[in-house]
Amino acid sequence: VQVRIATWQEAAHAIATMQVRGAPLIGAVAAYGVALAATADPADAAIQSATQHLCATRPTAVNLQWAVARVLAVIQPLSSEQRAAAAWSEARRIVAEDVAATRAIGEHGLATLRADRGPQAPLRILTHCNAGRLATCGVGTALAPVYAAQRAGQPVHVWVSETRPRNQGLLTCWELADAGVDHTLIADNAPGLLLMRHRVDAVIVGADRIAANGDTANKIGTYLKALAARAHGVPFFVAAPLSTIDFNCPAGAQIPIEERERSEFGATTDFVESVANPAFDVTPAHLITGIISERGVLAPTQIEAWRS
Amino acid sequence: VQVRIATWQEAAHAIATMQVRGAPLIGAVAAYGVALAATADPADAAIQSATQHLCATRPTAVNLQWAVARVLAVIQPLSSEQRAAAAWSEARRIVAEDVAATRAIGEHGLATLRADRGPQAPLRILTHCNAGRLATCGVGTALAPVYAAQRAGQPVHVWVSETRPRNQGLLTCWELADAGVDHTLIADNAPGLLLMRHRVDAVIVGADRIAANGDTANKIGTYLKALAARAHGVPFFVAAPLSTIDFNCPAGAQIPIEERERSEFGATTDFVESVANPAFDVTPAHLITGIISERGVLAPTQIEAWRS
């Protein structure tokens, strides 16, 4: 479905209700939200109100605050007349940079997978949630190396976990089918068996926030896959642009975890007395083989090198 | 829904289509299926055909073959006229034994939990799938210690994982609500976070087949919970009657894993090109703190002691 967003309130609504999701795409929509706000009313008070509202839509993905802060930093020194144009320009720059970053993540990720497996070997990738074209402005984060493999003519197959309760795995199936990439949908319960049976060469997921120590918040269920990958000696990669790294957050325990509504489980659970619906979990750095960014691939303990 | 089963074919249909499920209950229904077959036609050929059909309905739960073999062993030496009555009698005995076994599992399980936590401490149990009253002839396997705690006045709360793709977690919510036991539904993705946040005191699951070395096949997703429990030092128990132990199966790798239909994922996934739907996984013995049977609680490597 295509939705036209014409006000900052609509941008906030799109983020809060997950009309858009995926950390990089949330950031881009929030940046455009600030531009829409600056167009509607460039006064300091109006912009402050809009940006506070935008930043409060979802707590976990740091790209949201990052993008809003970046546009704000550009426009705050300017006069009212100059702000709207500058905000649009900065939002477009954020989008262009994300497009380039996702492409670079694809190339770095593919190079790393090939270093392990060679340029001809079929790659059997397990992913979680959707970290592809529908989650970024470009070719995705976790799926970028998959698309890079496809472009390079390397056989690739993707195990797609359903990602309850919101079923974002269906988005991944949809976009992989659209791109002609071989894939199989599985229940979120299945990765342990697949890894035990040696049917996965690498796990690649996106991220909503990476702490300075490499601990990574991503869609709930990511941590279970990291544990299973480690148990079977399969590499586990996090793919994300630098905008997802929160160097101000020392460790995963400090990342706020969003609790979402029980209605996401669907009407068939309405008779259930109590539901808990945390949207993210934290994978400790020691379970992460490497973090793939537009700058390359580093062990999670070494990402400090990307701070500057 | 209550379904009346009046022929062995209807018993086989009920098992194959999961009108009944849960290893002990499958065994009981299969035993009654043999009794229905012996009533319809007590000739060797007819009984052989019926039992082969019954045993082929589902491959993983060993209670099915166990119950059929047990009734067969009773009736095969008998004359045609004696077979039906003897089969009904043996099927009823299997049910009565299962009722007693589940009650004993509850007492042994509660004693073990109390040894860790004391008789007053609130127990926060994580379970998977449904291994309660709707899965056995009695009070359940994994849920039996929960009901025992409730009877003993010990505060108990159950985290119930949804158990995709068939959502048997909803059966667990239904029966816990019916019994007045406090519980919360979660996505199958959530246990890692809950364990990391110290919100689970013990994991208890049922079993479909326990190999002689203690490796345990249970509903797909069980293995991920065992890995997460181990990562956080939380005990992981398998609760099952002796009829679930397959001493002829040396290790988990020899347990057949049923692959079920993609339609279990629901119509919203009809556009997806390929679906894999393994119904069970295998939890290695080294991740299992103890196996709770009607005979007591043993480390998985010691269950040989229960062979006689």
Q: pLDDT at position A38, please?
A: 98
Which residues of chain B neighbour A261 with C-beta distances below 8 Å? Answer: none
Nearest alpha carbon to residue B201 among B128, B120, B124: B124
Q: pLDDT at position A116, please?
A: 77
Q: pLDDT at position B270, please?
A: 87
ipTM field: 0.96
Q: pLDDT at position B228, please?
A: 98
Say if the Cβ atoms of A193 and B277 lie within 8 Å.
no
Burial of A183 (0-12, 13-18, 19+ CB in 10 A): buried
Q: What angle do CA B258, B262, B266 make, to 5 degrees?
A: 130
Among A177, A221, A272, the residue with its CB nearest the CB of B273 is: A177
Parallel, antiparallel, or unpaired for β A216-219 and A209-211? antiparallel
Parallel, antiparallel, or unpaired for β B216-219 and B182-186? unpaired
Parallel, antiparallel, or unpaired for β A182-186 and A156-161? parallel
Q: pLDDT at position B121, please?
A: 87
Say if the Cβ atoms of A276 and B170 lie within 8 Å.
no
Determine the Cα–Cα distance for residues B115 and B129; give it in Å rounded to an integer.
26
Nearest alpha carbon to residue B52 among B91, B12, B5: B12
Q: pLDDT at position A119, please?
A: 81
Determine the Cα–Cα distance for residues A232 and A227; give it in Å rounded to an integer.
9
Tell me the pLDDT of chain B averaged across its residues: 97
Determine the Cα–Cα distance for residues B146 and B112; give it in Å rounded to an integer.
12
Q: How close B140 gets to chain A, by Cα (Å)?
A: 20
Q: pLDDT at position A277, please?
A: 98
Among B182, B185, B274, the residue with its CB nearest the CB of A265 is: B185
For the CA atoms of A108, A110, A113, A119, what is the dihedral angle to 10 degrees? -130
Interface test with B, best of A194, A257, A272, A282 (most B CBs within 10 A): A272
Per-residue pLDDT of chain A (308 residues), as tens digits, is 999 999 999 999 999 999 999 999 999 999 999 999 999 999 999 999 999 999 999 999 999 999 999 999 999 999 999 999 999 999 999 999 999 999 999 999 999 999 978 788 899 999 999 999 999 999 999 999 999 999 999 999 999 999 999 999 999 999 999 999 999 999 999 999 999 999 999 999 999 999 999 999 999 999 999 999 999 999 999 999 999 999 999 999 999 999 999 999 998 898 999 999 999 999 999 999 999 999 999 999 999 999 97
Give, as one character, the DSSP assignment of residue A259: B
Helix ranges restricted to H, chain A: 8-16, 23-40, 44-55, 62-75, 80-117, 144-151, 169-179, 191-196, 222-231
Q: How close A111 gets to chain B, by Cα (Å)?
A: 28
Determine the Cα–Cα distance for residues A157 and A135; give it in Å rounded to an integer.
20
Q: pLDDT at position A120, please?
A: 84
Q: pLDDT at position B179, please?
A: 97
Q: pLDDT at position A105, please?
A: 98
Name residue, tokens 């642009």. Answer: A241
**What does the block give as tokens for A157?**
């197959």
| Strand order through the sheet with B236-239 | B182-186, B156-161, B123-127, B202-205, B236-239, B290-293, B296-298
Name residue, tokens 């949201």. Answer: A64
Catalytic residues of A: 208
Length of chain B: 308
Q: Which residues of chain B have pLDDT under 50?
A: none
Those residues whose C-beta lies under 8 Å from the C-beta of residue A291, and which sit 6 or more positions away, are A210, A214, A216, A237, A238, A239, A240, A297, A298, A299, A300, A303
Q: pLDDT at position B116, please?
A: 76
Determine the Cα–Cα distance for residues B109 and B216; give it in Å rounded to an integer.
17
Which residues of chain A neighbour B282 with C-beta distances below 8 Å? Answer: 193, 196
Determine the Cα–Cα distance for residues A154 and A151; give it in Å rounded to an integer.
8
Among A224, A231, A257, the residue with its CB nearest the CB of B189 is: A224
Burial of A174 (0-12, 13-18, 19+ CB in 10 A): middle
Those residues whose C-beta lies under 8 Å from the C-beta of residue B49, and which sit 6 or more positions away, are none
Say if the Cβ atoms of A187 and B277 lie within 8 Å.
yes
Q: pLDDT at position A257, please?
A: 97
Q: What is the pLDDT of residues B120-138, one digit of tens each?
A: 889 999 999 999 999 999 9
